[in-house]
Structure 1
Amino acid sequence: MNSNPNSLFREGKKVWHTGNLQQAADLFFDVLEVDDQYHLAWNALGVVYSQAGEYEDADTCFKNALLLAPDNPVYLQNRGRNNRKLKILWELKSENMKKPAKISRMYYIVGFAVLALIVGVTLFLLLIH
């Protein structure tokens, strides 16, 4: 394996531009294994995660990039964009969790009919004995 973080990063960018997100993520990980302070790789990995819909993992990467380069406007913009997507995802999840299950009117009618039948049969059996 190539251990030069700059060449690994360039290779990761090439692969990312071809659309192979998994291989690009692997290469950016390789960069970070060699140099975990390589903020460009943290940001690039965050972008890859965000494009893959892994918004929480992307946010972690953007946080790491910003810890190393706090005022980088590109990292701030990427994190903001990702967090807007993350917020939408959280809102969709919470909406789905809050909605009670809808019970069809037909189920109420059938349930009431079954209950009435049980009561009727029970009363009938009590009266004939």
Structure 2
Amino acid sequence: MTQGERVKEVRKSLGLTLEKFGARLGVTKQTVSRIENGVNNVTEQMTKAICREFNVDYAWLTTGEGEMFVDSDEDFLARIDAIMLGEDDARKNLFKALLDASDEDIAAFQRIINIAATSEKEHKQ
């Protein structure tokens, strides 16, 4: 699937017309149509605008890998609030530990997450 086809998939999944999608990005419906049909390439500026405006994952839009949408900060905050108000002490303690973690601890934790994600991806193939 081309990047233009992924733009079309985003627009269709949001239920937006060419005109409404373009208006939110500050371009005409003709511009969107030309991108979707491969007449025009998607510029880096347009890619970033689509990701920002519609919470689209940059990696997905540029490469097709991963999920189409990313959670917004509001979604994350609501989920964290629910965890902190809930009864799952393990999850609460994880958040509390991360608040006190050093930059080195966070980097190590990120490496562990990356290893787990890579392992899961390889397992699915």
Taking structure 1 as the reference length, the TM-score comes to: 0.28
Higher relative contact order (CA closer than 8 Å, sequence separation 6+): 2
Greater gyration radius: 1
More helix by share: 1
